[in-house]
Amino acid sequence: MARRLCGEALAEVGLTQAEHGILACLRECGPLMQRDVAERLALDPGDLVTYLDKLEALEAISRTPDKKDRRRRVIEPTALGNELLTRADDALATATARLLDPLDPAETTHLMAVLTRLLGAHDPAHWCEI
């Protein structure tokens, strides 16, 4: 249910969940090489290129040659990409509120604390430190 609600919210903004993840990763980690984005998000490099092509067509990212190795591409969000990510985050917040609406505030707080602890136990490495 959460995946469906979030997918619908992102579709309204014009993104898939993978594309949102790419923009969020770039915002948090800064400019990255394509292979680094694929590794951090556990995406197949071939699939990543398809997502990057769409984001570039939307003018949400730029891909520029690396100064040290011109065969590699550095990916970074554009101003439009940052704006799109902000809109996506707002849409996701609304979807999350809809999902959690049946819970009272104390239950929501408890659930989020338990899920955060569970995620931290299984994925202690921050994706920028890979």
CB 89 within 8 A of CB 50: no
Please state the pTM of the whole predicted model: 0.85
Q: What is the pLDDT of residues 76-130, one digit of tens each?
A: 999 999 999 999 999 999 999 999 999 999 999 999 999 888 887 776 555 556 5
Write the DSSP symbol of residue 104: -
**pLDDT at residue 64, rounded to an integer:** 93
Q: What is the pLDDT of residues 28-57, one digit of tens each?
A: 999 999 999 999 998 998 899 999 999 999
**pLDDT at residue 74, rounded to an integer:** 93
Report helix, strand or coil for 15. Answer: coil
Rounded Cα distance between 111 and 122, Å, is: 17
Residue 64, CA atoms < 13 Å, CB-side half-sphere = 9
**Cα 40 to chain centroid, rounded:** 11
